[in-house]
A and B are shown apart, each in its own frame.
Chain A
Amino acid sequence: MTSFLAPTVPIRSLILDAAHGVLQGCRPSRQRQVLPYLVALYSFIDWWENEGVPRKQEDLDDLPGDLTLSTTWCERPEALDLLDIADLNLEGVQLSIHPVETGESLRIHCPTFLGVINADLAVAVGLDRDRRQAQMLGFCDRQTLLDYWQHHPADAQGYGTFPLEQLQPIFYLPEQISFLNPLPQSTPLATKGNTYGQPLENLPQRVLAAEPEQLPLHNATTIQRLLQALQDYTETSEISLSQD
């Protein structure tokens, strides 16, 4: 059910290039197996930066300067040669990202999730290869997964499942990230993950723009502002007279 709420992002050539960039260093036999993990990872980043983060803040237009994201394993070819893995650290919260091909179910390799990544959350990303679309199906926290696996133990290879319809909508993810990491001011937990997006400690923190003070009622300014906005904007079909 949640998939009806799940937003999609196009799988663009940039995403594929990034995935192939990592895979160049992998054994050819592994390349095909781990490609979905990387495509899911980069599609997720695309979604996070265009929708996830903006959703959380008031400035809907762009990313805050102090955003950090980093990976520990999945951008290292030598790790991908051994494991099917996509990990991402967002603001100190550890995510394990799982591709779900069309019509398949969510399968999570428990030892990787619990041990290697030591993940706080699992994120499921649906991949529709025909339509070149990735769909953010939802996420689930570690505790809920553990509870579920208690009753539905993993198979002999260590793979546990989780029903897609029980995932939390991805729209809750930004809230959940802040919930797990309640001190956004503190330095990100650099120990948890790091290869590319090395947190840049020396860079000055972004200074949050102060909200404009309430101005005293000033007719000329008020009207000027309105005029500008209106003149700038040529109206669309939305309000023109309806047509039969």
Chain B
Amino acid sequence: MSLSTRSPDLEVEQLPQLLQAARSRYLAGERSLAVIKPLSQALRAILERNIDTQLSQRGGYLQRLVEAYYRLFPRCLEHLSRDQLQQQAVQKTVQRLLQIPATIIQDEYDRLNRGQYNQPLKQLVLAFSRPALANRNPSPQLTEAECFLAFFIQCLRQELGATVLLSPQFRQEYRDLLRTVCLGSSDPEQCQSNLTGWLWEAMKSFDPLKPFGATGHGRPTFEAWARTVVSNKLADEKRKLLKREADELLFYDNRALQVFQDRYQAAPPEVQREIDPKACAQLITIVQTEITDPRIRASTARLRQHIAQLLGWTVEHTRDTHQQVRRILGRYVQSTRSLNICSTDGNQEWIDNYPDTRTLPTSNGQGVECMAEFLNDPQTPTWVRDWCERRRTQAEIARELFVSQPTISRCLGREYRLWLYRKFFQDPQIPQWMRRWYETQSIPSPHQRRQTRREIHPDYARGLCTAKQIDEQIEATLAQWCEHNGIYYLP
């Protein structure tokens, strides 16, 4: 390990130069492996260091990383030796980085150097370059070289993940997972064709060495992770579908103006306040009468440019107005067409990509202390607080969680609910069995889960009631408990 502690490690510091050199040769049209050799050798030398002395017997970081993929996906990788996989992944990742524009790498640098952004990744990188500062919170500013190393590690994980995901064994072994996660979508077939791509993208932030629990990623935690990725992506897909449907109404239905006006009238005042009905009506009319060419309509950018030109608006204003039109027409689409788009989200009005967060009763102090308690709870992730205090942008947090920005409210809700249950079970008045029952959720095997539940609840064991009924009973107790204690209840 490098002895330098405070000033960044020399080997790490030379990375940008090596990248620059390789890139110049690449841009000059050289495509041989010699182009990337110095850079990949340097990266391997760095990553092969042992940064965790407690685990010294298990070898350097790169070796442990590769090993973690083998342990998690043994059959998917059996056609490759560890050395092959390691070499191939490093090589491909370097090749890819040569083709990434400096501006994008620069954006990544800026992001990494913002306060709380992706602390685990920063700490990992510092462990290579400035071990003495690795555990400092907040982390010191990263140098350009350190940022590059961080970016490289993310892309390397993605490459290793891709090798797994694209193996035929993966599709075979995880067939059930792949099938069941798609069933919740409105178009399972389409979902299935997009699935691998979604997982592959998310692999960038998947760290097999830093799992959910202390024991490392096992198949159940990987599956839970995959389900989360997919459900977030499905929410995105629904949003897109709604946008498309709203546009189709705008293009093809001559009732669009009427529908818009009806829906606008019916909208709550908070929503109305954010809509400019005159501008919207102008936009609908001009699209329906003047912009009938489907070639223009087939591209949102073109469509907006034409609207702007015809109405003498700025593109920015056109964009805003178009979004407003989509928002109101979307409400209509959602309530009238059997799009099946609400099925998995229950009652949630998922058109929340158009922030409707103002339709709220004012909090008359009710539950406010509990919010502070929630925010201060050590088990509440730091991003929740960062979001509430606007310490980081929504986009940043969304990236970290690998969700779309609108989905953040869902994640918030989840964290809040987890906290509610923690608090609820701390109350000695709450029967012990409820807690034990609740905890059976985390038992991965359905068989074992049922078995444990039978031991917990005699009526369930005897088949007198279903698991769902017991869940509902606990949920109802939670709601009452919240009301009784003046804690804000979130269903």
Contact = CB atoms under 8 A, between A and B. Distances in A.
Interface in B335-370: 344-348, 352-353, 356-361, 363, 367-368
A105 B38 CA distance: 36
B166 A4 contact: yes
B113 to A, nearest CB: 14
A147 B385 CA distance: 52
Nearest to B292: A21
B224 to A, nearest CB: 11
Contacts of A172: 96, 99
Contacts of A235: 348, 410, 413-414, 417, 490-491
Given A18-B298, A223-B371, 17 more contacts: A8-B190, A8-B194, A14-B294, A18-B297, A20-B294, A60-B404, A65-B318, A178-B104, A206-B315, A222-B375, A223-B388, A230-B412, A234-B490, A236-B345, A241-B438, A243-B467, A244-B466
Contact of A14 (B251, B314, B318): B251
- Complex A-B, nearest 8 residue pairs according to Cβ-Cβ distance, in ascending order: A241-B471, A65-B315, A58-B395, A244-B467, A18-B298, A17-B294, A179-B101, A18-B294
A236 B308 CA distance: 39
Contacts of B474: 241
A143 interface: yes
Contacts of B471: 240-243
Contact of A203 (B99, B294, B308): B308
B315 A7 contact: no
27 contacts: A5-B162, A5-B165, A17-B294, A62-B323, A63-B300, A68-B301, A75-B295, A171-B197, A176-B99, A178-B101, A179-B99, A196-B302, A203-B315, A222-B388, A223-B368, A225-B390, A226-B375, A229-B412, A230-B413, A231-B361, A232-B356, A234-B490, A235-B414, A239-B418, A242-B440, A242-B471, A244-B446
B446 A215 contact: no
A200 B309 contact: yes
By secondary structure, the B interface counts as helix
A37 interface: no
B393 interface: yes
Nearest to A88: B299
B81 to A, nearest CB: 20
A20 B440 CA distance: 57
B319 A65 contact: yes
A28 to B, nearest CB: 19
Q: Which of A178, A226, A237, A239 has the most CB of B within 10 A?
A: A226
Contact of B101 (A133, A182, A240): A182
A197 B200 CA distance: 33
A214 B116 CA distance: 12
Q: Range of interface residues on chain A?
A: 35 or more
Contact of B302 (A4, A8, A197, A212): A197
A231 B417 CA distance: 12
Contacts of B309: 200, 203
Interface string B91-102: 000001001111
A118 B363 CA distance: 62
B410 A238 contact: yes
A182 B103 contact: yes
B103 A178 contact: yes
Interface in B461-491: 466-468, 471, 474-475, 488, 490-491
Q: Which of A62, A69, A135 has the most CB of B within 10 A?
A: A62
B292 to A, nearest CB: 10
Contacts of A236: 344-346, 348, 410
A151 interface: no
A233 B388 contact: no
B75 interface: no
Interface residues of B, number: 108
A144 B410 CA distance: 44
B309 to A, nearest CB: 6
B118 interface: no
B414 A238 contact: yes
B71 interface: no
B193 A233 contact: no
A224 B360 CA distance: 10
A219 B344 CA distance: 35
B299 A45 contact: yes
B299 A217 contact: no
Contacts of B417: 235, 239
B360 to A, nearest CB: 5
Contacts of B441: 241-242
A120 to B, nearest CB: 12
B298 A229 contact: no
A194 interface: no
A240 B363 CA distance: 25
Nearest to A141: B99
B412 A233 contact: yes
Nearest to A213: B390
A117 B347 CA distance: 50
B216 to A, nearest CB: 23
B96 to A, nearest CB: 7
A211 interface: yes
A109 B8 CA distance: 52
B301 A60 contact: no
A49 B295 contact: no
Nearest to A50: B240
A104 interface: no
Interface in B289-321: 293-302, 304-305, 308-309, 314-316, 318-319
